[in-house]
Chains A and B, each alone.
Chain A
Amino acid sequence: MNHIELREQTCNDAAQTPPAIRLNGVAKTFTNGNQTIEVLNNVNLTVAPQEIVGLIGASGAGKSTLLNIISGILKPDRGQVYICGAASEEFNDWGSVSYMFQDDRLLPWRSAIRNVEFALEAGSIAKKDRARRALQALQLVELEGFEEAFPYQLSGGMRSRVALARSLVTEPRILLMDEPFSRLDAQTRALMHKELLRVYRLKHMTVVFVTHDVAEATLLADQVAVLSPRPGTIREVVNITPARPRDITQPEVTSYMQRLRALI
């Protein structure tokens, strides 16, 4: 409990804390043999605590690369990443940053609950507490009763919920998502959007997600950052003002979508 309160003081209060994420002149170049590809150049972005930010852009614009840089698993060539005010390489509470992949990435040999527990196994949390927290996370995504099911026994939507539970079980302050629902059918994807917003209302974390789907970005985000094609740089940040839940049939929402499409 103490732990969580402490977190709220340091980086989950929108009023007087540093931004959850701040990117300052981030650049990244990949070399493949003698070919160099400039993927990102001078990316500047600020994400306030408890904000939902969507990253969109043409494919190959470096959206996933940018997310990997934010998550700390990839180092930028130039520029600086700040997480909760701390320089990325000095930040040491990565347990409070979750990452949700494009695919559900469930370990096939583990049951649903054991897959959720996996996220807690990097540290030294007691087995009993892991199981309890994993069960709570599964309840949070409304998968109670499926704890012992193996991934092959679950539908695509359910697997996606398990993956979401795994990202949430660590009680993250920041949730990073790389096209997390892109492999689901349209109906299930809409359900997962609802699910995500429901969890967001309960947990109030900062969310940064990558998508190529303008509708998804418009429906979920407070702000949408548009990346220009290679080398990727932030072309514009669009504030999406209508209250959630939004519907793509709302004229306001449609006009935002048109605007974003024109920007990509």
Chain B
Amino acid sequence: MATNSSDGIDTKSLAQPLSRRLKLGLIGQRLALAAVVIGIWWLSSLSVPHYILPGPRRVWDALHLIAGNGDLWNNLAITLWRVAVGFVVAALVGLPFGIVLGANKHAGEFFEPVIPVLNTVSSAIWAIFAIIWFGISNATTIFVVFMTAMPLIITNVWQGTRTVNADFIELAKVLRMPHWKVMTKIYLPTILPYFFSGARLAFGFGWRVSLVAETIGSSSGVGYRLRQAADLIRTDQVFAWTLTLVIMMATIEIGMMKPLENYLFRWKKDAATQ
């Protein structure tokens, strides 16, 4: 017992400086990569007209402009809100559906073909349907995000439900645990990692398709602004919008998803030793 815990402390104190060194090295590598990309970008932009490929300086100025007049934050907020609504509704529908389909064999067998069919329908098609049904409105984008995210979440939760350990169900049975408690105390924690990876995927896809939806079915939002900038041949602004999206996604991923995942799944061996 004692040797066990002292082992744990030893490896920890050894691993700490090593991992920090690795981390610093990694940051250096990333910075170098960014410098190389920007360098190539800058070099290529020298020999091409700015409306084909604007240089980093031009894009920076365009970014400054849209950030300065509030355009950037307003549209980013609108798009983020639409993605969030579509995503949350998809999660609220997908989680119980996935659990029911996984836990109930008959329901699972019956609905099995629906998911691949939903997955094969392109988001662009959903966008066209959305315009027919909802016109130019928030609902169009939200619907497209929802239709893209929901099958992904259902599929993952469904898979997760299949991995529920029958031994744990037996344990709950011996303890005379009511059925709904079995759902919340055994099914839900088992499914959570699957739900999480599904939600992550769905959120990323939702972002991407929200732009498609906004370019054709909206009069606000990042997607709409992107198309507008393209129509006006303001390629520098197209780049500026793209850049903000990339930065935003990276921030959400590194700043929110990763820490949340590490906290939620700290009981997993590999997550904790990271």
CB within 8 Å of B: which residues of A? 71, 73, 94-95, 99, 101, 103, 105, 107-111, 118-119, 121-122, 150-153, 155, 157-158
Structural contact, B176 and A109, CB atoms closer than 8 A: no
Contacts of A151 in B (CB 8 A): 267
A-B contact pairs, 21 of them (CB 8 A): A71-B174, A73-B170, A94-B176, A99-B174, A101-B167, A101-B170, A103-B167, A105-B167, A107-B186, A107-B189, A110-B267, A111-B267, A118-B171, A121-B175, A121-B181, A121-B185, A150-B267, A150-B272, A151-B267, A152-B268, A158-B1
Interface residues of B in 133-179 (CB under 8 A from A): 167-168, 170-178
How many residue pairs at the A-B interface have CB separations less than 8 Å?
A: 53
Q: Does B21 contact A (CB under 8 A)?
A: no
Q: Does B4 contact A (CB under 8 A)?
A: yes
Structural contact, B174 and A73, CB atoms closer than 8 A: yes
Chain A interface, DSSP helix/strand/loop, else mixed: loop
Q: Does B8 contact A (CB under 8 A)?
A: yes
Contacts of A111 in B (CB 8 A): 267
Category for how many chain B residues contact A? 20 to 34
Structural contact, B171 and A101, CB atoms closer than 8 A: yes
Q: Does B106 contact A (CB under 8 A)?
A: no
Contacts of A94 in B (CB 8 A): 176
Q: Which of A99, A108, A155 contacts B1 (CB 8 A)?
A: A155
Q: Which of B168, B176, B177, B267 contacts A105 (CB 8 A)?
A: B168
Contacts of B192 in A (CB 8 A): 109
**Distance A109 CA – B178 CA, assembled complex (angstroms):** 20
Q: Does B258 contact A (CB under 8 A)?
A: no
Q: Give, as a whole number of angstroms, the nearest-CB distance from B181 to chain A.
A: 7
Structural contact, A155 and B4, CB atoms closer than 8 A: yes
Contact flags B175-216 to A (C-beta < 8 A → 1, else 0):
111100100011001001000000000000000000000000
Q: Give, as a whole number of angstroms, the nearest-CB distance from B48 to chain A.
A: 54
Q: Which of A95, A107, A155, A158 contacts B168 (CB 8 A)?
A: A107
> What residue in chain A is nearest B273 (Cβ atoms)?
A152
Given A118-B185, A152-B267, check contact A105 B171 (CB 8 Å).
yes
> What residue in chain B is nearest A149 (Cβ atoms)?
B5
Contacts of A103 in B (CB 8 A): 167
Q: Which of A71, A101, A109, A122 contacts B181 (CB 8 A)?
A: A122
**Distance A109 CA – B272 CA, assembled complex (angstroms):** 12
Q: Give, as a whole number of angstroms, the nearest-CB distance from B263 to chain A.
A: 12
> What residue in chain A is nearest B185 (Cβ atoms)?
A121
> What residue in chain A is nearest B175 (Cβ atoms)?
A122
Structural contact, A109 and B189, CB atoms closer than 8 A: yes
Which of A108, A109, A118, A151 gathers most chain B CB within 10 Å?
A: A109
Q: Does B269 contact A (CB under 8 A)?
A: yes
Q: Give, as a whole number of angstroms, the nearest-CB distance from A214 to chain B.
A: 27
Contacts of B177 in A (CB 8 A): 121-122
**Distance A151 CA – B4 CA, assembled complex (angstroms):** 13
Contacts of A122 in B (CB 8 A): 172, 175-178, 181
Contacts of B178 in A (CB 8 A): 122
**Distance A119 CA – B174 CA, assembled complex (angstroms):** 10
**Distance A89 CA – B192 CA, assembled complex (angstroms):** 36
**Distance A119 CA – B181 CA, assembled complex (angstroms):** 12
> What residue in chain A is nearest B188 (Cβ atoms)?
A109
Which of B4, B181, B272 gathers most chain A CB within 10 Å?
A: B4
**Distance A158 CA – B175 CA, assembled complex (angstroms):** 22
Structural contact, A152 and B269, CB atoms closer than 8 A: yes
> What residue in chain B is nearest A108 (Cβ atoms)?
B267
Which of B175, B186, B269 gathers most chain A CB within 10 Å?
A: B175
Q: Does B64 contact A (CB under 8 A)?
A: no
Which of B168, B174, B177 gathers most chain A CB within 10 Å?
A: B174
Interface residues of B in 223-274 (CB under 8 A from A): 266-269, 272
**Distance A152 CA – B266 CA, assembled complex (angstroms):** 11
Q: Give, as a whole number of angstroms, the nearest-CB distance from B224 to chain A.
A: 43
Q: Give, as a whole number of angstroms, the nearest-CB distance from A153 to chain B.
A: 7
- Knowing that A103-B167, A121-B185 touch, tell me 15 more A-B residue pairs with CB under 8 angstroms: A105-B171, A107-B186, A109-B267, A118-B171, A118-B175, A118-B185, A119-B175, A121-B181, A122-B176, A122-B181, A150-B266, A150-B267, A152-B269, A155-B4, A158-B4
**Distance A9 CA – B75 CA, assembled complex (angstroms):** 73
Structural contact, B8 and A95, CB atoms closer than 8 A: no
**Distance A160 CA – B225 CA, assembled complex (angstroms):** 61
